[in-house]
Amino acid sequence: MTESRIAAIDVGNDSLKAIFGKLETELNIPNVIAQDVADRPIIGIEELDNQDPTEGIHIRLHSPTLHDNNAIYRVGKLATKSGNSTELDPGSNKSEEDQTLVMLFAALALDAAREENKSVFKRNNNVIEATYTLGTGLPLREVKEGKDVGYRSQLLGSVHQVEFLVTPKYQGLKVNLKFDEVKVYPEGFAAFINLVMDNNLNIINKELIDKRILIQDIGGLSTDVAVIKNRKVDDDKAQGFNLGVSESLDKIREEIYARHGVELDSRSDVVDIITKKNDRNHIMVRGSRTSVHDIVDRILLDLAKKQYRHLRNIWQRNSQTEICYFIGGGSIVLKDYLKTLNNSLDGYNIDFFEDEKESVWMMANAYYKLISDFARKSQPVKPREEEKLAKTK
CATH of residue 126: 3.30.420.40
In a domain, 194, yes or no: no
Query: Reduced to 3 states, what is the DSSP secondary structure of residue 257?
Result: helix
Number of H helices, E strands in the chain: 13, 18
Q: Residue 86 has what DSSP assignment?
A: B
Residue 322 in contact with residue 315, Cβ under 8 Å? no
Instruction: Indicate if 152 and 217 belong to the same structural domain.
Output: no
Rounded to whole angstroms, the Cα distance separating 17 from 20 reads 10
Give strand pairing partners of 29. 16
Q: What number is the average pLDDT over the span 48-72?
A: 89
Asked if residue 51 and residue 134 are part of one domain, the reply reads yes
**Confidence band for 297, pLDDT divided at 50, 70 and 90:** very high
CA dist 95 and 264 (Å) reads 28
Burial class (CB in 10 A: 0-12, 13-18, 19+), 203: exposed
The total number of structural domains that make up the chain: 2
pLDDT at 42: 64
Range scoring the smallest mean pLDDT among 136-145, 206-215, 299-308, 329-338: 206-215
* pLDDT (average), residues 215-239: 79
Q: Residue 385: pLDDT above 60?
A: no
Please report whether residue 390 resides in a domain. no
Q: Are residues 340 and 368 in the same domain?
A: no
- Shared-domain flag, residues 103 and 152: yes
Looking from the CA of 185 toward its CB, the CA atoms found within 13 Å total 28
Burial status of residue 41 (CB atoms within 10 A of its CB: 0-12, 13-18, 19 or more): exposed
The domain of 254 spans 210-356
328/224 Cα distance (integer angstroms): 10
Containing H/E element for 91? none
Residue 115 corresponds to which amino acid?
E
Which positions ≥6 away from 156 have C-beta within 8 Å?
179, 181, 182
Q: What's the rounded mean pLDDT across residues 251-279?
A: 87
126 plus 244 within the same structural domain? no
Q: Is residue 203 domain-resident?
A: no
Identify the pLDDT of residue 24: 84
CA distances to 262, 312, 313, 389 from 351, in Å: 35, 15, 18, 44
Kindly report each contact of residues 174-178 with a partner whose C-beta sits within 8 Å and lies 24 or more positions away, as own/partner.
Answer: 174/126, 174/127, 174/128, 175/108, 175/109, 175/112, 175/113, 175/127, 175/128, 175/130, 176/127, 176/128, 176/129, 176/130, 177/105, 177/108, 177/109, 177/112, 177/130, 177/132, 178/129, 178/130, 178/131, 178/132
Q: Are residues 330 and 369 in the same domain?
A: no
197 lies in some domain: no
pLDDT grade, residue 82 (50/70/90)?
confident
